[in-house]
Amino acid sequence: MEWGFMVLSAACAVFLVQILLEYNRQSSELRPEVQRIEAEMKGEREERDGYLKMSEDLKAHIAQLDTELSQLEAKRAELERVIQSRQDEDGETPKRAVS
């Protein structure tokens, strides 16, 4: 009976060594692939961050342009009122402003 346990113990030890050797072999084969994938992910993350920064910059620029557009539209309306009032004072028929 003792010999049976010793044989089973030795077989388990050999099997454990085989598992560890196979794990080391596969991990050494996969390591370069994992490193390549991690490098690609880092590059894509940096690219994404660049796009997000660019998007934020563009949103700020659009907001600035919207403000300028509102100011220009207000100035245009004011100038049209001034033109209209001068035409009314001179008695001329009002002319439509070109848009």
SS3 39: helix
User: pLDDT band at residue 2, thresholds of 50, 70 and 90?
Assistant: confident
The confidence score (pLDDT) of residue 12 equals 95
Provide φ and ψ at 98, rounded to 5°.
-80, 130
Mean pLDDT of the chain: 91
Domain boundaries, the chain: 1-90
User: pLDDT band at residue 3, thresholds of 50, 70 and 90?
Assistant: confident
Nearest by Cα to 76 from 65, 68, 64: 68
Reported as a single tens digit per residue, the pLDDT across 18-57 is 999 999 999 988 899 999 999 999 999 999 999 999 999 9
First to last CA, the chain: 105
Q: Which two tokens stand for residue 35?
A: 């490193």
Share of the chain above pLDDT 90, in %: 78
